[in-house]
Structure 1
Amino acid sequence: MSTELVHQDATRLAELIRTKEVSPVEVVQAHLDRISAADPQINAIVTIAPDALRAARAAEAAVMAGEKLGPLHGVPFTAKDSIDSAGVATQFASPIFKGRVPDTDATTMVRMKAAGGILLAKTNHPEFSFWIETDNLLSGRTRNPWNLDRTPGGSSGGESAAVAAGMSPIGLATDVAISVRGPAALTGVVGFKATHGRIPMTGIWPRVPRRFWHVGPIARSVRDVALAYSLLAGPDGADGHSTSPLTLDAGVASRPGRPIRVGWLVEPGFRLIDSDVAATVQAAAEALKGLGVIVEPVRIPVLEQINALELLWKLQVMETKPAFKKVTAGHEDKIFKHVQGVYDTPDTSIEDFVIAEQQIDFMRDGFAQYFQKYDALLCPVTPVPDHGHDAAEFEINGQKVSSLHVMDATAPFSVTGLPGLSMRFGTSRDGLPIGIQLVAPWLAESTSLHLAALLESVSPVRNLHPSLAAMGIKG
């Protein structure tokens, strides 16, 4: 039963608890046991919440007393260690913040708990959430449960690995260029980045550059990320970028009965894409077409004219460098190489900074024009299915590119604030997950979620889990 529980999604676990088929204590203990078995090989978990079992016993008492239950009542969840959790260490993956225990919860933490969720653990990420792989001086490297020699990505690699390995059914992650969608793709789970500002970032660090940071759920099913989105979205009165009420939705939910038109794109626009990844995107396009969606190949000129990742890097250097230097002053010996790389990068000139901001606005205009005709875009998440640890470059279709290219299909939707969903729809020749990305117009989250649910219903890889043997676990 314990093995079955750790492979259920959060929605099903909540149902089992609500109907008294299992108790919250059983569910939490099953996931704690899974952490004990799997995490020594994966290293996704940074801190176990010390009161998780106590909270589970209280949740069980509420069920037995017939109290009103929230949609996640008794269900454990995890959260990236950049998200404040009252009474539980939040250390930003840095020795400088070792032992830091916040007094208050981040808004997202408050909302998950208000829905009945039980914080189980905090998960690993690169120092200050600033790299494409999960490794740091405080808690070390996280491994991909599908293949321990591969990375789960970054910066939310610990969260995605925990969910993929059955250590958590659902969790909270953050994204500034790739960090929810990329790790979800590399580990074969679902990650959702809503429109910028839809979910408040209050209680999450870093916040620079604020206009690009997102927070969103990672889970094993589309219905779980949809549920989490419904619980997490909406203004909190503290985050000035979070102003749109959840009831405002410009997607398919607001116009039932109208045909959905989707464009799909691999190249050109995202530079080089591995043939397995390209084939998976095309397979998803054919699947949507078979489900009655109008699907056709497209080109988006603005993606061919502007490199969003280059713009983001120019802006990040100018904005993150002062913020990072402020908190690391006097602790230079405790800085990991990727943050040091930010310090070593020459400052962006004010002229280039302004040009970058203007080009991002031009990119937004280009997407606004695209979405006049199409309801969504189907495209890759990452250019390769997965890669080894600390890779400096990839070889794609016989050509070598920098490993930073891993962000070229996600950064455009971060800098423009568009909602993007990542889900598995294929498998590489090496047996690794391949994800596809669904991007919808601003405030049209229901479109991404609807299309993802359609694809999930016909997915050739639905309900696949990494084996214990792949994690080096016997039995």
Structure 2
Amino acid sequence: MSAKDFAGRTVAQHVEAFTSGKVSARDLIEGVLERTKKAEPFNPIATLDAEGARAAADALDARRKRGTGFGKLAGVPVSAKDLILTKGLRTAFASLTMKDNVPTIDADAIAQWRAADAVLFAKTTTPEFGHKVLTDSRLHGVTRNPWNREHTSGGSSGGAAVSIALGLGPIAMSTDGAGSGRIPAACCGIYGLKATVGRVPHEVPPDQFGQLTYLGVMARHPTDLGAGLASMSRGHRDDPWTAAIGRTPFAWPENTGEHPIAGKRVTVIRRMTGGYLDPDTEARLDAALAFLDKQGAHIKEMDGREVDWKLDVARIVLRANQIERFADILKNRRDELDPSFAKTLDEGDAVDAVMLRRALADRTTAYKSVQRLFADADLLLTPTVATPAPLATQDQFKPLVVDGKPLGDLRAAWYTYTIPFNMTGHPAISIPFGRSRAGLPIGIHFVAPWYEEAHLIRLAEAFDAETGASAEFPPGFAAGA
């Protein structure tokens, strides 16, 4: 079969080309598989399923010959993070302890994408059990930034972000526990969406009521966030948060006729805690404000120190959940774990009942604090991270260093902006908005009230029309290159 390079085209363009008979699903997959070979130096793929993808594509082509109907992702090549269960395809969680794990079921979101006739071709890289915001593991190695291999892709959905940046399919499924989808999106110059809690079923984790992790979508085109979300948002009986929304999936496209910027009240928070903000990042934030102002937004700024974000709450809850899940592995197989993951579990082991009880109460406090901000705002705007992507050698437990100056703990110095909204459930998006003087992507971060994902996607479309970010590829990876 011939390979068709559809890199840079939207989900809708893939579907139309396949369903109209202009191109076969097999040709689309062969094009993506060719690109995965070029992408190998950046290491975005944990497990490639070339034969499984070809078989699924051939089945779609056979159905088309029979004249049957198709789902909304028909023929679209997709990937999923190596933390998400995929039936019959290795899900190793980037861990030597799970290197031979082949699930017998799909996560429901994956099942929904398959039912929509997407073609899953790969699992993407992540740190071990997604424990940090950098992407490297003993099992899969280091995943590198597509704009500069000396820098990190961000994490923990680093492989998904790199795949989208390099044109390996139009959408990828990510996870986001403290910014794990939005952070690498910013580092790699693509769009990353974390939906409202319960919008996408995440029925696998053992703590359904207290979890902070979301399944999300990454894309090159903002509208494809909507296409991906619409095809993974049917509720599931084992995820109680989905019951709050009901069984009706997210609808896309949604056109209310309302401008996503004009007349909107935007509260800008440059610094969550008064820490360092990279000058290039701040300059791009100022440029975003100028664009919003020109489009008719009502902008006000506030000092992030006026809000007690309860940033440590997320760490305590996450660590408590992690040690509950992985205590046996820590005890019996510690020598097989990445040292940073073992240290993370040690932090969880130190969480006592008093700490956890206070953290659970503080999560409600954080939610109410954010709700008060939306009393006179339609959107919150922050940087996604405080600096462009650090070096690929950055250690999760060592200070972030800029121009030879240590800025403090990576969590406190780099990614304070994303953490609160995993606790509070609010939808958030990272939007690519230019690059630093060194050529690294810079992202800006919008947060909306619950269930306002469509507004965030339309907002991203407005920014993309201004920047053309969806058409930008790292060197050597442009469509047809």
Question: Is TM > 0.5 for Structure 1 vs Structure 2?
Answer: yes
2:375 is aligned with 1:372 = yes
**How far off its partner does 1:24 sit?**
1.1
Which residues in structure 2 correspond to 1:70-469 (within 5 Å)? Answer: 70-203=71-204, 210-243=210-243, 244-245=245-246, 246=248, 256=258, 259-267=263-271, 269=273, 271-292=275-296, 294-299=297-302, 304-345=306-347, 347-391=350-394, 392-395=398-401, 400-404=407-411, 405-459=413-467, 461-468=469-476
Deviation digits for residues 289-330 of structure 1 (CA, Å, limit 9, x no counterpart): 2223x23132166x5442443221222233312311134542
Residue 152 of structure 2 aligns to a residue in which SS? coil
Residue 381 of structure 2 aligns to a residue in which SS? strand
Aligned-partner Cα distance in 2 for 1:13–1:270:
45
1:180–1:31 CA distance, 2 compared to 1 (3 A): same
**How far off its partner does 1:121 sit?**
0.5
Aligned residues: 465
- Given residue 95 of structure 1, which amino acid in structure 2 is its aligned partner? L
TM-score, with structure 1 as normaliser: 0.91
Aligned-partner Cα distance in 2 for 1:376–1:32:
39
Q: Is the CA contact 1:276–1:429 (under 8 Å) kept in the aligned structure 2?
A: yes
Q: Is the CA contact 1:270–1:409 (under 8 Å) kept in the aligned structure 2?
A: no
**How far off its partner does 1:45 sit?**
0.7
1:95–1:206 CA distance, 2 compared to 1 (3 A): farther
Q: Is the CA contact 2:25–2:61 (under 8 Å) kept in the aligned structure 1?
A: yes
Could you tell which deviates more after superposition, 233-242 or 339-348? 339-348
- Given residue 129 of structure 1, which amino acid in structure 2 is its aligned partner? G
Q: Is the CA contact 2:81–2:173 (under 8 Å) kept in the aligned structure 1?
A: yes
Name the residue aligned to 2:36.
Answer: 35
Residue 110 of structure 2 aligns to a residue in which SS? helix
Amino-acid identity (%): 29
User: What do you get for the CA RMSD once the two structures are aligned?
Assistant: 2.5
- Given residue 299 of structure 2, which amino acid in structure 1 is its aligned partner? E
**How far off its partner does 1:99 sit?**
1.3
- Given residue 459 of structure 1, which amino acid in structure 2 is its aligned partner? T
**How far off its partner does 1:352 sit?**
2.9
Aligned-partner Cα distance in 2 for 1:395–1:308:
24
Deviation digits for residues 403-423 of structure 1 (CA, Å, limit 9, x no counterpart): 223220100111111100112
Deviation digits for residues 407-463 of structure 1 (CA, Å, limit 9, x no counterpart): 201001111111001120111111111111111011221221121111111125341
Aligned-partner Cα distance in 2 for 1:462–1:270:
32
- Given residue 274 of structure 1, which amino acid in structure 2 is its aligned partner? D
Q: Is the CA contact 2:177–2:214 (under 8 Å) kept in the aligned structure 1?
A: yes
1:196–1:300 CA distance, 2 compared to 1 (3 A): farther
**How far off its partner does 1:401 sit?**
2.4
- Given residue 235 of structure 2, which amino acid in structure 1 is its aligned partner? P
**How far off its partner does 1:21 sit?**
2.3
Q: Which runs of 5 or more residues in structure 1 are unaligned? A: none
Aligned-partner Cα distance in 1 for 2:223–2:469:
16
Deviation digits for residues 93-140 of structure 1 (CA, Å, limit 9, x no counterpart): 111111111111110111111111000101110111101111111111
Residue 89 of structure 2 aligns to a residue in which SS? coil
Aligned-partner Cα distance in 1 for 2:400–2:115:
43
Aligned-partner Cα distance in 1 for 2:225–2:341:
31
Aligned-partner Cα distance in 2 for 1:424–1:277:
11
Q: Is the CA contact 1:186–1:434 (under 8 Å) kept in the aligned structure 2?
A: yes
**How far off its partner does 1:60 sit?**
1.9
TM-score, with structure 2 as normaliser: 0.90
Q: Which runs of 5 or more residues in structure 2 are unaligned? A: none
**How far off its partner does 1:469 sit?**
8.1
1:376–1:162 CA distance, 2 compared to 1 (3 A): same
Q: Is the CA contact 1:288–1:455 (under 8 Å) kept in the aligned structure 2?
A: no
- Given residue 394 of structure 1, which amino acid in structure 2 is its aligned partner? L
